[in-house]
Amino acid sequence: MSVRTIGIIGGGQLGRMLAMAAARLDLRTVILEPQPDCPAAQLANAQIVAAYDDPDALAELARLCDIVTYEFENVPVAAAEALAEAVPVFPPPRALEVSQDRLVEKSFIRDCGIRTADFAAVDSQADLEAALDRFGGVGVLKTRRLGYDGKGQRLFRSPAESRDGAFEALGGVPLILESLVPFEREISIIAARDRDGTIACYDPAENVHRNGILHTSTLPARVNEASADQARRAARAILDSLGYVGVIGVEFFVLPDGGLVANEIAPRVHNSGHWTEAACVISQFEQHVRAVAGHPLGDPRRHSDCVMQNLIGDDIDDVPAWLARPDVLVHLYGKAEARPGRKMGHVTQILG
């Protein structure tokens, strides 16, 4: 079946960039997003303005589209599964299920033979005390669901720190305690798998976070070939295990000896892959569109070194200065209001 129209659940900047990549391949896009005039809909062919789990809206999306994909990992699993009865959904809904719950995610990654931090489920203050004792009094406490960009987390740096009320302070919801990884740097890898099972991996990016939000991704990452290879092998194992179709992002901590510890997966195009639009012939966005539409994957090779920087909140005021630099690709998301912590755009500077 040849794909003419792609449905995208979610209307943010990632959906917008997918819509742009689809348009270049003469594919149409329909966005399902409750917020009218969202960043993605500004560049898509149509928008269904409705909740992600609205049954009528999902039926309409299935009717209008040949395949459906998504741009964020908190798409309700039941909605994706219901949709998959009517129209192919890529990546598979199982990828959502795995990435929505940090406990399920860490268990899945470990079952793929990939190293993770030690972890324990925490459903009460008593669980927390026991898990902290097991991890030497230090660790990172996180909500299992709906945490992102460092939100819903509490760091225990030293055994002397008070634990009182820590379970309730994160909302009394199911938590996970992870052992503290003594990492030297953070990297991520963007990889794609097509419908035939062919896999293409981009080079790992070195990521710096500020206030829990990605600040820069730099290529090349300061890792040796063995670490880069380990990242590629991990991505392959995850993609194959999920029978995945599309682009995935996998984040790792790099230990002082070069060993990798996987932190999380994102079953979608990823902020730490935005650099690919400037430094590769085929961007992560086109790669995703190719995979889900049933086209051959493009070459993920990087032709230039580069650094991608997010424009967060007031950083949008720096756009004229960035535009004055001829070596910088500026990409803005069409968001009317710049709020603190809000991703407004990004810039990628080519280095040599």
Collapse the DSSP code of 135 into the 3-class scheme (helix H, G, I; strand E, B; otherwise coil) and give the result: coil
Interaction between residue 263 and ligand AMP (CB under 6 A): yes
Question: Given the complex with ligand AMP, which of 110 and 195 has the nearer CB atom?
Answer: 110
By the rule CB under 6 A, 180 interacts with ligand AMP: yes
Run of H or E residues at 104: helix 102-111
Q: How many residues bind ligand AMP (CB under 6 A)?
A: 12
The footprint of ligand AMP on residues 138-177 (CB under 6 A) is 140, 147, 150
Q: How far is the CB of 302 from ligand AMP (least distance, A)?
A: 23
Q: Please report the beta strands in 240-284, taking only residues with DSSP state E, as ranges in sequence order.
A: 246-254, 260-266
No. of H helices and E strands in the chain? Answer: 11, 17
Smallest gap from Cβ 117 to ligand AMP, in A, equals: 4
Residues 90/291, Cβ–Cβ less than 8 Å: yes
Q: Is 259 in the site for ligand AMP (CB under 6 A)?
A: no
**Does residue 178 bind ligand AMP (CB under 6 A)?**
yes
Task: Name the residue with tokens 């809206």.
Answer: 57
Among 117, 170, 199, 347, binds ligand AMP (CB under 6 A): 117
Contact set for ligand AMP, span 310-339 (CB under 6 A): none
**CA–CA dist 267, 121 (Å, integer):** 23
Which residue lies nearer to ligand AMP by CB, 43 or 180? 180
**Which of residues 250 and 289 has its CB atom nearest to ligand AMP in the complex?**
250
Nearer to ligand AMP, 18 or 181 (CB): 181
31 φ, ψ to 5°? -100, 135
Please give the angle made by the CA atoms of 266, 268 and 273, to the nearest 5 degrees: 85
Regarding 266 and contact with ligand AMP (CB under 6 A), the answer is no
Q: Helix (H, G, I), strand (E, B), or coil: what is residue 253? A: strand
- State in angstroms the smallest separation of the CB of 39 from ligand AMP: 23
By beta-carbon proximity to ligand AMP, the closer residue of 129 and 148 is: 148
- Residue 188 to residues 105, 235, 251, 287, Cα–Cα distance (Å): 16, 10, 4, 17
- By CB under 6 A, the residues from 48 to 87 that bind ligand AMP are none
Shortest spacing between CB 214 and ligand AMP, in angstroms? 9
Shortest Cβ distance from residue 264 to ligand AMP (Å)? 5
Where do the DSSP E strands lie in the chain?
A: 5-9, 28-32, 46-48, 67-70, 119-122, 139-143, 153-156, 175-178, 185-193, 199-201, 205-210, 213-219, 246-254, 260-266, 305-312, 328-332, 343-351
Beta carbon nearer to ligand AMP, 61 or 128: 128
Residues that bind ligand AMP (CB under 6 A): 117, 140, 147, 150, 178, 180-181, 186, 209, 212, 263-264
